Structure formats: C-alpha cells, structure tokens
Amino acid sequence: MKLILIVMIMIFNVSAYANSSASILLYHHVSDTTPKSTSISPKLFKQHLKYLEDNHFNVLPLEQIISSLKNKEKLPNKTVAITFDDAYKSVLYEAAVLLEKKSWPFSVFVNAQATSAKYKNYLSWNELKTIIKKGGTIGSHSYDHAHLVRKLKNESNKDYENRIYNNLKKDRDIIENKLDIKVKMFAYPYGEYNDFLKKTLKSFSYYGLGQQSGAVGQSSDFLAIPRFPMAMNYAKMNNFITRVNTLAFDIKNVNKAKVF
Ligand SMILES: [Zn+2]
C-alpha cells in the first residue's frame, strides 16, 4: 500500500512538470555531405519528425514556448521546438520542405556576415524570406559568429564591451532591415556566454539560447535557455527519444555553496 502511494505521487509530479516544460532541439545541417559534427542525415531527420508525429508531440513556435514559460502559463504536454543555427542551405532545401508539409514552425539563427557574403552552404537573404514564408522565425546569431566571450589581446573591458555590443547591434539591424522583421531571439555562437553578454541581450529585449543540454521550464534562465544539440551520437533515435521526453524541474531556490 505504501509503495502504491509513493508511485502515485511520482506520477502526479511528472504530469505537473509536463505542463511547464519543453525540449528545444538544435540542428545545423540536414545533409549527408556536410561535416558530420554539425550534421544530421535527411533520413534520420525524417525519423525524428515521424517519432514526434506518431507520439503526438506539439511542435510550437520557439518564442511562444518561451513567453508562455516566462509568464507561468501552461503548455501542452510533450511540447517541442525545432531550431537551426547558422542558416545553412539544407535548412531550406531539406528540413523546411518536410516541416512545411506538417505545418510545423521552426526558428533559424542567422549571422548577417555569412549571409551577406554569400558563403557556400549559407542561405541568401532571398532564401531566408522563403524560410519565413514556410513557417520559419529568424533570430540573431551574432554578426560574424565570433567567440563572444573572448577578449582580444590588450583589449580593455570597455573596448571589449563596445565591440560586443556593436557586433550584436549590427547583426540585428541588418537582419531587421533585410527581412523586414523584429528580431527577438539570440543564439550564442558555440553556446558561449558570460554575464556581460546576458546583460547585453537583456538590453535588446532578447531571449538567449545556449547549447547546453536540458529541458526548459518556468524557472529557467531566459537569457541562457538550454537546447539539445542534434548531431552525431546525440541525434540517434534512442538518444533523441530520451531528450524530447525530458522534463524540466521547477527550481524554487538556488543556494550557491561558498568556495573557500
Ligand atoms: Zn553557430
């Protein structure tokens, strides 16, 4: 009897978390011919989508998920967001084709420098307009995909802060101008951030997306939101299934231990 009671309490708690939790998936290339460390094959990507569909997941717009969690509003059980960093060609020609068929939203984080320079494998501004028509939302990923936490040699704090602020502003201004949209989300290049970067994102009224694994919940830091990277081993079906079914704990208090 005691055992049954304990199990029931656990089920109740899990269902409570399920309404205030989401998994955000992070992809780069969806291609068999790009670097393996940042790629998933179109075949495996299709299997991911099939799993989400067969198991009744709710693929919702990223910004909607984050603002619901921030405002302590309930989400449907099994909520997932799909994101792509760097805006590679295969996002439009492989992924978006499949996502559009299901009317599933997704987000793409753009470096204006790579897009403007028409680097190989990167989407053009016109192609990004097509992404938006297919249900994509565009976010910023810094102007030049720099290691934003790194100070240059002999750079003062003030110069570092000005450089980073200008980098983020330049990316935002170009994206907004080229695509006629408002940028509201930022994905840290390489998932690297520090207190100054978080403060800067706050001044832009951005949500900040990291690359650390974990589900996002109501008590998450919305300037450093976790995402599950999907490439190599992490993208295999058994790992994918674990990640999309992960729930965020609602953390009430964090006590930092003193380090002597
Ligand atoms: Zn990137």
Question: Quick check: 256 pLDDT over 90?
Answer: no
Q: How far is the CA of 122 from the centre of ligand 1 (A)?
A: 12
Asked if pLDDT for residue 8 goes beyond 60, the answer is no
The bridge status of strand 21-27 relative to strand 106-110 is unpaired
Q: Could you tell me the distance, in angstroms and rounded to a whole number, from the CA of residue 144 to the centre of ligand 1?
A: 10
Q: Which helix (H) or strand (E) is 23 found in, with range? A: strand 21-27
Mean pLDDT of 97-110: 98
Q: Please give the full DSSP string across 44-97, using - where no structure is assigned.
A: HHHHHHHHHHHTT-EE--HHHHHHHHHTT----SSEEEEEEES-BHHIIIIIHH
Residue 113 Cα to ligand 1 midpoint, Å, equals 12
Q: Is residue 144 included in any domain, yes or no? A: yes
Residues spanned by the domain of 124 = 2-244
CATH code of the domain covering residue 105: 3.20.20.370
* 44 in any annotated domain: yes
- 1 CA → ligand 1 middle, Å: 52
Mean pLDDT, residues 79-97 taken together: 98
Residue 186: both structure tokens together: 């930022």
Res 259: pLDDT: 60
Asked if residue 203 has pLDDT above 50, the reply is: yes
How far apart are the CA of 152 and the centre of ligand 1, in A? 20
User: How many domains does the chain fold into?
Assistant: 1
Give me the pLDDT at residue 16, please: 60
- Round the average pLDDT of the chain to a whole number and report it: 92
Tell whether 206 is covered by a domain: yes
260 domain-assigned? no
Q: Cα of 210 to ligand 1 centre, how many Å?
A: 10
Query: What is the distance in A from the centroid of ligand 1 to the CA of 185?
Result: 14
Q: Is 1 exposed, middle or buried, given 0-12, 13-18 or 19+ CB atoms closer than 10 A?
A: exposed
Q: Is the pLDDT of residue 253 over 90?
A: no
Q: What is the pLDDT of residues 117-131, one digit of tens each?
A: 999 999 999 999 999
The verdict on residue 256 lying in a domain is: no
Q: What is the DSSP letter of 30?
A: E
Residue 17 lies in a domain: yes
104 located within any domain = yes
260 pLDDT band (50/70/90 cuts)?
low
Q: How many Å lie between the centroid of ligand 1 and the Cα of residue 15?
A: 34
Task: Give per-residue pLDDT as tens, 26-63.
Answer: 999 999 999 999 999 999 999 999 999 999 999 999 99
222 pLDDT band, cuts 50/70/90, is very high
Does residue 202 carry a pLDDT above 90? yes
How does DSSP classify residue 1? -
> Structure pTM?
0.91
Of the chain, the percentage scoring pLDDT greater than 70 comes to 92
In a domain, 211, yes or no: yes
* Residue-level pLDDT at 11: 47
